[in-house]
């Protein structure tokens, strides 16, 4: 909705800049953009029927800036003659459920002409074009008060009798846009004894349109059932400024104010005279809703310390009436304020969301501990993301083809009783097929560098029991881990093994071993079993070919239950070593069957407490080179001490593992 700031200033004092005003309204819950010519473009949310008017926006501005709304009690006195409307116009409301209030006034001797420039300008700034002085008045008050009205040519209404009724089946009416609509019996119309003269709350008909020859005006103002207007507008595909406001709900009290002000303005701009009195047909008196507000509850919900006085001032500034803990809801907010929580929302947005501290909700329950395994899995995600991997989530349901591609046995797979399709007919027993599908999907789209991991459950059938569920951690990598295209390095077995070293180190796990494996998933000589935990290595080329990936793929799969058991719950930090280290290298030929882990274990055992670290740093054909880091926690080692221990290490390797020193 377009709101000219100059028009807004007629209703509220504004002492801030237009840019600040737009931001203030946005922070108060009404997204606002400042357009050229100091016009605000406001996005009215569906539940805020009160803001479909300049007055409604002014009320918001007054509450947000802690000023008062300019209100005037309007009473029609001038230009009213002694001739009574009740002797000239008859109104019959046949359906008071759909039209609980209908009001009318009459103005005689009206001159239909152009509106004054000030009125034209305001309508144009608000996005409406000027038509004539009578129609412009109804549009002006629709924008300012939010109350739609319609002006009829009284001489075109048969017997000057207005009937508010439901439409007849297949009744037709030609509206002001020259389109003919077929109505149904659930739609409400305004008619005279002969035919419909308006689709109630939506648009008037052409047969009673105000024209240059019009002399007497019947001005209607009503309250129509919002649901009925919405259904009618939607069914006829006829959405108007009037239907928008009626279907959101108008102010019961403004119905009277609008018709009085409209009659006075038409008489003034058209040099006419207003007939005495008005027609007011209503179903009965309407009372405002009263809601109990508990200040302690407000602060409990918002996490604030707002005083009772602040709460009362905020609500009064918005037009609510407060008496103790009882809050009377004004009619212009009757459409969206029903409960205490609605009042709390009003207090929060005017108080300022930015003043409410961001806190985590207290979701703890008595005797309910935090899921430590869930925290552990979140920690794994952080570590692996830090290592350059991206988390993926794949479906728990896969098909027989996925088992065949990876040569995984199907005998323990849980079968889905009523699968949607064959591709999702089995529960996965490994996370690997899902990740390989991710790799294939990316390769098919020229994304050759894929580094993904997944933490998820796998399922295996159990005789006469529920399926066994197990958490696994799986990663699959292929391509270059480098961001720059200049770097040509490709991920390999050692790259993935390095990620595992980082992971184990972050979890405080040191007692792990890499041993030979005969798993069909791993290319021979290019992988290892992590004793008790899982596998790591190059995926077998035959499996890679099944997924049509033209680069080697490396993976690891780890049992999270076992990983959690090995991880240290408490981390102990110690100061950096005071004394320098000394290293010695050992080059050797190892017999077949002697693995890397066996050599490292033998070196550590022989070196004793002086071996700070041992690692393989070179391999050429059958030759292996290890570096042993010696360090004492008590003093600086001498060459004599280091050489003595190093000779013991070499002797142990020769005697125990039968290696040949180079």
Nearest to 279 by CA among 77, 159, 103: 103
pLDDT along the chain (662 residues), means of 10: 94 94 93 91 92 95 93 65 90 96 96 96 94 97 96 96 95 95 95 96 95 96 96 95 95 94 94 94 91 94 93 94 95 93 95 86 64 88 93 93 92 89 92 95 91 95 84 94 74 90 89 86 90 92 92 94 85 80 93 85 90 88 90 90 92 92 89
The conformational region for residue 121 under phi > 0 = left, psi -120 to 50 = alpha, else beta, is: alpha
Contacts of 131 (CB under 8 A, 6+ apart): 139
pLDDT of residue 242: 96
Domains annotated for the chain, with CATH where assigned, are 2-65 (3.30.56.10), 80-282 (3.50.40.10), 290-355 (3.30.56.10), 372-566 (3.30.930.10), 582-661 (3.30.70.380)
Which helix (DSSP H) or strand (DSSP E) does residue 250 occupy?
A: none
pLDDT of residue 448: 87
Under DSSP, is residue 45 helix (H, G, I), strand (E, B) or coil? coil
pLDDT of residue 481: 86
pLDDT of residue 596: 83
pLDDT of residue 364: 63
- Can you give the pTM of this predicted structure? 0.60
CB 636 within 8 A of CB 579: yes
pLDDT of residue 235: 95
Residue 262 has, within 13 A of its CA and on its CB side, a CA count of: 35
DSSP-assigned beta bridge partners for residue 554: 477, 538
Nearest to 146 by CA among 336, 332, 10: 332
CA 637, 643, 644, 645: dihedral to nearest 10 degrees?
A: 70
Q: What is the chain's alpha carbon radius of gyration, rounded to the nearest angstrom?
A: 41
């Amino acid at each position: 909705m377009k709101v000219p700031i100059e028009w807004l200033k007629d209703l509220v004092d504004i002492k801030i800049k237009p840019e600040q005003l737009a931001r203030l309204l946005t922070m108060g819950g009404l997204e606002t953009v400042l357009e050229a010519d100091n016009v605000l473009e406001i996005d009215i949310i569906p539940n805020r029927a009160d803001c479909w008017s300049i007055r409604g926006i002014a009320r918001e501005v007054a509450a947000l800036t802690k000023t008062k709304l300019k209100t005037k009690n309007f009473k029609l006195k001038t230009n009213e003659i002694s001739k009574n409307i009740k002797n000239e116009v008859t109104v019959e409301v046949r359906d008071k459920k759909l039209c609980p209030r209908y009001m009318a006034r009459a103005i005689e001797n009206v001159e239909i002409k152009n509106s004054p420039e000030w009125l034209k300008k305001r309508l144009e700034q608000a996005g409406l074009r000027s038509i004539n002085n009578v129609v412009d008045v109804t549009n002006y008050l629709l924008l300012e008060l939010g109350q739609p009205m319609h002006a009829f040519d009284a001489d075109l209404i048969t017997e000057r009798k207005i009937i508010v009724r439901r439409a007849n089946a297949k009744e037709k009416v030609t509206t002001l846009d020259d389109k003919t609509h077929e109505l149904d019996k659930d739609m409400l119309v305004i008619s005279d004894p002969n035919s419909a003269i308006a689709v109630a709350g939506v648009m008037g008909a052409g047969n009673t349109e105000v024209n240059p020859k019009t002399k007497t005006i019947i001005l209607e103002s009503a309250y129509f059932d919002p649901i009925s207007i919405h259904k009618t507008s939607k069914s006829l595909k006829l959405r108007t400024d009037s239907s928008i406001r009626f279907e959101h709900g108008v102010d019961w009290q403004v119905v009277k104010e609008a018709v009085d002000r409209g009659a006075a303005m038409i008489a003034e701009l058209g040099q006419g005279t207003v007939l005495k009195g008005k027609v007011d047909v209503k179903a009965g008196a309407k009372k405002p809703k009263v809601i109990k507000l508990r200040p302690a509850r407000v602060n409990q919900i918002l996490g604030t310390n707002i005083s009772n006085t602040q709460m009362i001032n905020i609500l009064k500034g918005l037009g609510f009436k407060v008496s103790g803990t009882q809050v009377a809801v004004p009619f212009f907010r009757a459409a969206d304020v029903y409960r205490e929580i609605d009042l709390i929302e009003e207090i929060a947005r005017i108080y300022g969301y930015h003043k409410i501290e961001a806190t985590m909700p207290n979701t703890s329950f008595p005797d309910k501990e935090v899921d430590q395994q869930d925290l552990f899995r979140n920690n794994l995600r952080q570590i692996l993301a830090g290592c350059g991997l991206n988390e993926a989530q794949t479906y728990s349901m896969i098909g027989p083809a996925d088992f065949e591609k990876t040569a995984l046995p199907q005998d323990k797979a849980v079968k889905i009783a009523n699968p949607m399709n064959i591709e999702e007919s089995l529960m996965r027993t490994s996370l690997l097929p899902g990740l390989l599908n991710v790799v294939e999907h990316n390769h098919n789209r020229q994304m050759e560098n894929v580094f993904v991991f997944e933490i998820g459950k796998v399922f295996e059938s159990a005789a006469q029991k529920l399926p066994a569920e197990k958490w696994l951690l799986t990663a699959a990598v292929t391509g270059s881990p480098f961001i720059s295209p200049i770097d040509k390095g490709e991920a390999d077995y050692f790259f993935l093994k390095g990620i595992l070293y980082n992971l184990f180190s972050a979890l405080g796990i040191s007692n792990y071993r890499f041993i030979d494996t005969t798993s069909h998933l791993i290319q021979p000589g290019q992988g290892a079993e992590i004793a008790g935990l899982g596998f790591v290595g190059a995926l077998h080329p035959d499996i890679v070919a099944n997924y049509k990936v033209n680069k080697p793929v490396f993976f690891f799969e780890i049992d999270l239950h076992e990983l959690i058991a090995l991880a240290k719950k408490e981390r102990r930090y110690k100061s950096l070593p005071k004394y320098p280290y000394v290293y010695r290298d050992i080059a050797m030929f190892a017999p077949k069957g002697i693995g890397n882990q066996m050599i490292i274990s033998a070196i550590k055992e022989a070196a004793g407490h002086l071996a700070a670290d041992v690692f393989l740093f070179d391999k050429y054909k059958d030759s292996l080179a290890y570096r042993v880091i010696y360090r004492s926690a008590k003093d600086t080692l001498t060459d004599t001490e280091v050489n003595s221990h190093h000779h013991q290490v070499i002797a142990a390797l020769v005697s125990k593992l039968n290696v040949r020193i180079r």
